[in-house]
Structure 1
């Protein structure tokens, strides 16, 4: 135990906690939005058990990946259609593609539901028909997909399992503390739920971008980089992602303020 308490390991732990916080924002957002699809009486329990089970499975996934990282990195299929589709496909590629498509589908479906006529006549506290178990399973599944990216990034910092596991547990505790607050905020400010769905849409695109160099990075072979019509699929940088999120929030805040100003002017004109 004493050999773990080194300055290097403590520094790595702090770096991993920061990494988990940065990469976990979109995860927390998904949990907050998805939990509202469960029956109202079960939403708090859904968030709690969804996070607990997901964190436990994330630690197990980390344990397995540390031992099977080489096997997971090996491409099991090479696409060789010059000028159309080229590159290698490994386990990480499949996870990123599946996760990206699923998140984009979820975001588009929920945005479409908000725009539907039926939604306009529905009480905001009545959620679409999903059982608590279904929502917990979805949260666990998407937490694992989100965590794949953070685990791969964490393994680039250190391969000391206790340090990695501690960072994951601390991030899980932070999600438990913040999930109710984020959900409550979204319930009181419904317009930000739409904003959150568009952020999830961007997250799906980010994950699809991560699929491009997954095999190439794992095998240190640029020939395995996925190319579509001769162009590399390049992942969006985290700084670009968070800049886009900040811009979306800024636009929403400015638009909300402008709408309030217009409504105030209309009320004043009506009273004259």
Structure 2
């Protein structure tokens, strides 16, 4: 309690907390995009629950990793060397998670390009109850897997920004609360705008490649990645506005041409 009061009276602690919350929220966007894309493949009545489970798991994993912060710090120590390149456990986890994300995003893009594709158990199809249950479990499993990767990246970022566990815990809780608040609106928005699905999948593909690059020791500035994502999202927003304006114009012309019955 005394340590919390001391931190509360320290302006530097508030600056660190604010900075960390912003960083964690930005990093949480990746996690939230993946959850939204996957849960939208489920029947509508299961989506909100699956999103809640995914985000709650993200909170539990982040807090669990914080409790093991001294172990997490050790994960950046080299454990494997191949062809002159050293890899830590963090590197291996990032590479594995990145490969999974690239595979998943590519698979989903293929499914969107080829609507005639026969769904498998990972697609959340509308088959029998056993198939639907297996699909639900598979999607939750995939969310948990990527939760682990994103949580590890998030906590290592937090450890690099502050030495105070209290600040890390507050930042993580606030970040997950923001994710929980934004999950359903984001998921519904993506589901209601098919063109956004492809954009979100391309974001996931880029994020996966970034994770792989970081696993191999190539530091990709996050600012570049998120600036590209923001620019693409802005262009897509303009396209959506243009399409809606064209649709309204066409509808008004159609109404004007309708003959008046007497």
TM-score (normalised: structure 1):
0.79
* Residue 268 to residue 245, structure 1, CA distance change in 2 (3 Å): same
Q: How far apart, in 1, do the equivalents of 2:115 and 2:189 lie?
A: 25
**1:141 aligned residue:** 145
Counterpart position of 2:36: 32
Unaligned segments of structure 2, at least 5 residues: 126-131, 258-262
Q: Which of 131, 138, 145 does residue 135 from structure 2 map onto?
A: 131
Deviations 1:45-100 (A, max 9, x none): 11112211221122111221x222453232121123xxxxx310110110110011
What corresponds to 2:260 in structure 1? none
Equivalent in the alignment of 1:115: 113
CA separation in 2, counterparts of 1:40 and 1:256? 24
**SS class of match (2:78):** coil
Structure-2 separation of matches of 1:207 and 1:24: 14
Within 2, Cα distance between the matches of 1:261 and 1:38? 31
Where 1:235 maps in the other structure, the secondary structure is coil
In structure 1, which of residues 221, 246, 266 is the aligned counterpart of residue 230 of structure 2? Answer: 246
Indicate how the Cα distance of structure 1 residues 117 and 9 shifts in structure 2: closer, same or farther if over 3 A, else same. Answer: closer
1:200 lines up with 2:204 in the alignment: yes
Q: Which residue of 2 aligns with 1:19?
A: 23
Q: Which residue does 1:68 correspond to in 2?
A: 71
Deviation at 1:236, TM superposition (A): 1.9
Q: 2: CA distance between counterparts of 1:127 and 1:199?
A: 21
Q: Over aligned residues, Cα RMSD in angstroms?
A: 2.7
* Structure 1 segment 1-272 matched on structure 2, within 5 A: 1-5=1-5, 6=7, 7=10, 8-64=12-68, 66-80=69-83, 86-118=84-116, 127-128=124-125, 131-213=135-217, 234-256=218-240
CA contact (8 A) 2:58 2:151 kept: no
Give, in angstroms, the shift of residue 108 of structure 1: 0.4
Call closer, same or farther: CA 1:61–1:69 in 2, change over 3 Å: closer
Q: 1:255 offset after TM fit, Å? A: 4.0
> Is the deviation greater in 157-166 or in 27-36?
157-166
What number of residue pairs does the alignment pair up? Answer: 240
CA distance in structure 2 between the aligned counterparts of 1:167 and 1:202, rounded to whole angstroms: 26
* CA 138–256 in structure 1, closer or farther in 2 if over 3 Å, else same: same
- Taking structure 2 as the reference length, what is the TM-score of the superposition? 0.81
Paired residue secondary structure (1:236):
coil
Tell me the residue number matched to 1:228. Answer: none
8 Å Cα contact 2:76/2:91 also seen in 1: no
